[in-house]
Amino acid sequence: MALLSLRGLVKRFGDTVALDHLDLDVAPGEFLTLLGGSGSGKSTLLRVVAGFETAESGAVLLEGRDIAAVPPHARPLNMMFQSYALFPHLSVAGNVAYGLKRDDVPRAERDRRVAEALALVRLQGFERRLPYRLSGGQKQRVALARALVKRPRLLLLDEPLGALDANLRERTGFELRALQRETGAAFIMVTHDQNEALALADRVAVLEAGRLVQAGPPRAVYERPATRFVAGFLGGANVLEGQPDGAGGFDCPGLAATLRAEAPVDRGTAACALRPERITLRPSPLAGANASQGVVEEVAFRGDDSLLLVRAAGGALLRVGHAEEDGAPPPRGSTVHLAWEAAAVVPLRG
Partner 1 sequence: MRRLPLLLPALWLALLVAVPLLVVVALSVSFPAEGIPPFALPGRAEGINGEPFALLLEDPFYRDAFLGAVLVAGGTGLLCLGLAFPMALGLVRAAPRWRPLLLALVLLPFWTGFLPRLGAWIGLLRDEGWINTLLLGLGWIAAPLPLLYSWPALFLGMTHAYLPFAVLPLYASLSRLDPVLEEAAADLGATGPVAFLTVTLPLALPGAAAAFLLVFIPAAGEYVIPELLGPPSAQLVGRVLWGEFFQNRDWPVAAALAVALLVMLIIPILLFQRLEARR
70 binds partner 1 (CB under 8 A): no
Decide if residue 14 touches partner 1 (CB under 8 A): no
- Residue ranges of alpha helices (H) inside the chain are 42-50, 92-102, 107-120, 136-148, 166-183, 194-200, 218-223, 228-233
Pairing state between β 211-216 and 203-208: antiparallel
Write down the least CB distance from residue 88 to partner 1, Å: 7
- For position 278 contacting partner 1 by CB under 8 A, the verdict is no
- Cβ-based nearer residue to partner 1, 65 or 73: 73
In angstroms, rounded to a whole number, what is the distance separating the alpha carbons of residues 249 and 244?
6
- Sheet bearing 57-62, strands edge to edge: 16-26, 4-13, 57-62, 65-66
DSSP state at residue 192: S
d(CA 225, CA 348): 7
How many residues touch partner 1 under the rule CB under 8 A: the total is: 24
Interior angle at CA 102, CA 97 and CA 106, nearest 5:
70
Choices 99-107, 115-123, 271-279, 305-313 (CB under 8 A): range interacting with partner 1: 99-107
Q: Name, in order, each residue with C-beta under 8 angstroms of 307's C-beta and a sequence gap of 6 or more.
A: 276, 299, 300, 319, 320, 321, 322
Q: Which is nearer to partner 1, 52 or 174 (CB)?
A: 52
Q: Does residue 83 bind partner 1 (CB under 8 A)?
A: yes
Q: How far is the CB of 170 from partner 1 (least distance, A)?
A: 26
Q: Is 99 in the site for partner 1 (CB under 8 A)?
A: yes
User: Which of 88, 106, 246, 333 is the binder for partner 1 (CB under 8 A)?
Assistant: 88
- CA-based torsion, 265, 269, 271, 277: positive or negative: negative
For partner 1, the closer of residues 45 and 226 by Cβ is 45
Q: How far is the CB of 334 from partner 1 (least distance, A)?
A: 54
Considering only 68-76, 199-207, 219-227, 269-277, which stretch makes contact with partner 1 by CB under 8 A?
68-76
Measured between its terminal Cα atoms, the distance across the chain in Å is 31
| 191/220 Cα distance (integer angstroms) | 18
| 113 is a site residue for partner 1 (CB under 8 A) | no
Binding flag, residue 79, partner 1 (CB under 8 A): yes
Q: What is the DSSP string of 40-67?
A: SSHHHHHHHHHTSS--SEEEEEETTEE-
With binding defined as CB under 8 A, does residue 139 bind partner 1?
A: no
- Smallest gap from Cβ 98 to partner 1, in A, equals 5
Query: For the window 31-60, what string marks contact with partner 1 as x by the rule CB under 8 A?
Result: -------------------xxx--------
Binding of partner 1 by 131 (CB under 8 A): no
Quote the distance between the C-alpha of residue 271 and its chain's center: 23
| The binder of partner 1 chosen from 33, 78, 140, 292 (CB under 8 A) | 78
Nearer to partner 1, 117 or 215 (CB): 117
Q: Which residues contribute to the site for partner 1 (CB under 8 A)?
A: 50-52, 71-75, 78-79, 81, 83, 85-89, 98-99, 102-103, 146-147, 150
